[in-house]
């Protein structure tokens, strides 16, 4: 049975209206993003430190970075199986860790976080655990074990702690985020393996907490960021077309989202690994600014793997392929003239 001419006309008109609405929506989003972008300038390069090696202050494939409340900088020196601590000016302070499974030992330390409780939480990719340290490198506790069950990990990549003391872990090969209570007891997992839809993950690499305790996840091979409420409910996603995870190199797209950080203003920083840049967004995913291109000169990156922001707004980036840390000035707005 064929549709009547009037029906076909209605269908065509409806499709035309829907297309127009979508076009207006995307044009508005594009203009809005450009306005936001125009208000921020890429941060100014300040200093860098580190070179390839195993001596103190040198790095071998560094992955993670965090700062404490006094702006001391901690780096996961992954290839050297250690954590290194520096001043905000890059002066070496101390180092701890060596390859192994015992307390104080590490096996492929990845992302780490300096929490409000005065502790450093380190995701150990090959030991399938989170190890907790004080700021002087003394081992305090372990969280997790190898496996797929509740409270177990298969290559944890990132860790974050909210204001309530809950600990969130990016459980890489289990394709989920695992939360823990302040006493380290496991809570209900967030997400499952999948693509396209919110709450589905494909190798989540890192997690971060916003000022309102919202949870952000670097959904690495889905090439997107996902946002959840403090209760673990999906809120939004971005990256590629409508957050579907199609990789790309345009602003707002990713080619493996390796790490995520949120500053005190709620701005979201993403390490865009194969695009050799850092992208910055609002807490709801509106693009703000990006910085970095591939290279080894100051301000250039070779596969950045993490970034953090200190109390002054300075930005520190782990330049993985160049075995160094780069420090940038805070983001600033352009002055508008009437």
**Alpha helices in the chain, H assignment, sequence order:** 5-38
Give dist(CA 62, CA 278) in Å, integer.
16
Q: 145-164, pLDDT tens digit by residue?
A: 999 999 999 999 999 999 99
pTM score, whole prediction: 0.88
| Chain centre to alpha carbon of residue 242 | 19
Does the residue 45 lie in any domain?
A: no
Domain that residue 221 falls in:
51-332
Does the residue 14 lie in any domain?
A: no
Could you identify the residue written with the tokens 């596969």?
A: 303
In the three-class reduction of DSSP (H, G, I as helix; E, B as strand; rest coil), residue 210 is classed as: coil
Q: What residues are paired with 48 via a beta bridge?
A: 326
- Beta carbons within 8 Å of 335's beta carbon, 6+ residues apart: none
Give dist(CA 233, CA 151) in Å, integer.
19
What integer pLDDT is reported at residue 219 of this predicted model? 98
Could you identify the residue written with the tokens 């790309």?
A: 248
Does the residue 160 lie in any domain?
A: yes
Does the residue 77 lie in any domain?
A: yes
Q: What is the DSSP pairing of strand 332-333 with strand 40-41?
A: antiparallel
Q: 43-96, pLDDT tens digit by residue?
A: 999 999 999 999 999 999 999 999 999 999 999 999 999 999 999 999 999 999
What integer pLDDT is reported at residue 27 of this predicted model? 44
- Count other Cβ atoms within 10 Å, centred on residue 216: 26
Does the residue 264 lie in any domain?
A: yes
What integer pLDDT is reported at residue 4 of this predicted model? 55
What integer pLDDT is reported at residue 306 of this predicted model? 99
Does the residue 151 lie in any domain?
A: yes
Please say whether the beta carbons of 106 and 122 come within 8 A: yes
The token pair at 125 is 């990719």
As for how many domains the chain has, the answer is 1
Give dist(CA 321, CA 316) in Å, integer.
15
Does the residue 15 lie in any domain?
A: no
Please say whether the beta carbons of 276 and 301 come within 8 A: yes
Does the residue 3 lie in any domain?
A: no
Terminal Cα-to-Cα distance of the chain (whole angstroms):
62
Sheet holding 156-161, edge to edge: 156-161, 167-171, 176-180
Give dist(CA 261, CA 249) in Å, integer.
20
What integer pLDDT is reported at residue 241 of this predicted model? 76
Give dist(CA 222, CA 191) in Å, integer.
13
Low-confidence residues in the chain, pLDDT < 70: 1-38, 335-338
- Count other Cβ atoms within 10 Å, centred on residue 128: 20
What integer pLDDT is reported at residue 242 of this predicted model? 74
Give dist(CA 296, CA 90) in Å, integer.
18
The token pair at 232 is 């673990």
What integer pLDDT is reported at residue 172 of this predicted model? 98
- Beta carbons within 8 Å of 247's beta carbon, 6+ residues apart: 223, 240, 253, 254, 255, 256
Q: Residue 152 — φ and ψ, nearest 5°?
A: -110, 160
Please say whether the beta carbons of 121 and 139 come within 8 A: no
Q: Give the CATH number of the domain where residue 240 resides.
A: 2.120.10.30
């Amino acid at each position: 049975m064929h549709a009547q001419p009037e029906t076909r006309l209605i269908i065509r008109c409806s499709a035309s209206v829907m297309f127009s609405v979508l076009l207006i929506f995307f044009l508005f989003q594009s203009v809005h993003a450009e306005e936001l972008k125009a208000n921020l300038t890429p941060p100014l390069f300040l200093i860098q430190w580190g070179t390839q090696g195993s001596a103190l202050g040198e790095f071998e494939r560094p992955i993670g970075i965090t700062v404490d409340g006094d702006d001391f900088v901690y780096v996961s020196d992954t290839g050297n199986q250690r954590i290194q601590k520096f001043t905000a000016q890059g002066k070496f302070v101390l180092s701890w860790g060596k390859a192994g499974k015992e307390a104080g030992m590490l096996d492929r330390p990845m992302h780490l976080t300096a929490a409000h409780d005065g502790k450093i939480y380190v995701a150990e990719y090959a030991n399938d655990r989170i190890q907790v340290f004080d700021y002087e490198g003394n081992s305090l506790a372990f969280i997790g074990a190898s496996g797929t069950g509740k409270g177990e990990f298969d290559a944890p990549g990132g860790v974050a702690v909210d204001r309530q003391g809950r600990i969130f872990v990016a459980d890489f090969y289990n394709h989920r985020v695992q939360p823990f209570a302040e006493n380290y007891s496991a809570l209900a997992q967030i997400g499952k393996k999948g693509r396209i839809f919110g709450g589905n993950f494909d190798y989540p690499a890192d997690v971060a907490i916003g000022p309102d305790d919202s949870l952000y996840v670097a959904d690495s091979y889905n090439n997107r960021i996902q946002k959840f409420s403090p209760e673990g409910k999906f809120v939004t996603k971005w990256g590629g077309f409508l957050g579907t995870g199609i990789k790309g190199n345009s602003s707002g797209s990713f080619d493996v989202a390796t790490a995520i950080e949120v500053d005190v203003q709620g701005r979201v920083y993403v390490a865009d690994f194969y695009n050799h840049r850092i992208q910055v967004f609002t807490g709801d995913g509106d693009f703000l600014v990006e910085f970095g291109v591939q290279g080894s000169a100051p301000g250039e990156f070779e596969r950045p793997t993490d970034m953090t922001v200190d109390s002054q707004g300075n930005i520190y980036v782990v330049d993985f392929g160049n075995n160094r840390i780069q420090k940038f000035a805070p983001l600033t707005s352009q002055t508008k003239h009437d």
